[in-house]
Chain A
Amino acid sequence: MYIRKHSVNRPPTPDEDVTESPERDELTLGEIINIKLVESGEKENLMELVRDRLVESGWKDEMRIACREHVKKKGRKDVTVDELIRAITPKGRASVPDAVKEELLDRIQNFIRSAAI
């Protein structure tokens, strides 16, 4: 006879065939890849790589200038983060240097292939 601590309260383990499969079907391939990226630590490596490359190439500085322009227009007290993101995302996505994009896509594709999905 033992006393079950309240902190150890947890819902009963779901049955294998009933709850497991529908959940798996709901996950898209993209989401699975993302999970695998995070779990393996590759996502973090990629993030660091992207950041470094974008800083080196001056992309980040260009983006900062674009932000300042926007802030000047809207006045620095009213501007919100969402607004800034919306303002610079199109330009940001478009102005990534090709070499950087290639390098990243290469690495990601290698990962996907090796993850054997």
Chain B
Amino acid sequence: MSNAEDNKPSHDQLSSQVFLDLVDSVIADVASECHRVARLGLDRDLEVVEEELRLSVEARAKVADPSNNLETNTKYVVDIFGQSHPPVATEVFNCMNCGRQIVAGRFAPHLERCMGKGRKARAKATRSTTASQNRNSRRNTSDNNQLASGPPGFEENVRRA
């Protein structure tokens, strides 16, 4: 900040210095912001670019590799992004009905049992104990929200029709 030539810096020099000071502050702000975004991985575009680069390198390696049986790889289909899809979906999530952890590929059969919608799956159970229980409780309480066992009366009606 000290000037070698003058003891009294001119107004121009002084104002320039102040101006540069201000600009430097704004630059520091921008740098700090970008640094934060970068380190926290908030910049999705950056990640996407990195990921695509990586995948294209992988894909290129696969194509270049002659020992790969590109056509006989029918069990695990590989798409253009290099992802393979196993025949049974493997993702695990929580059933919204009973709250258990279910494998996606087994979700439909689970729901059948869980909600009692399948014709044969819950037939025996609904008929014997739970059906009479439900009919009793329905007489007592008007509001019947029994999802777990399903509306047995409805099922029986459906079957009759």
Contacts and interface: CB of A to CB of B under 8 A. Distances in A.
Contact of A67 (B15, B18, B34): B34
Contacts of A31: 1
The interface size bin for chain B is 20 to 34
Contacts of B14: 29-30, 33, 108, 112
B23 A67 contact: no
Interface string A82-94: 0011001100110
Contact of B15 (A60, A84, A89, A112): A112
A96 B19 CA distance: 11
The interface size bin for chain A is 35 or more
Interface of A: 28-31, 33-34, 37, 46-47, 50-51, 54, 60, 63-64, 67-68, 71-72, 76-77, 79-81, 84-85, 88-89, 92-93, 96, 101, 104-105, 108-109, 112-113
Interface of B: 1-2, 8-9, 11-12, 14-35, 38-39, 41, 43, 46, 49
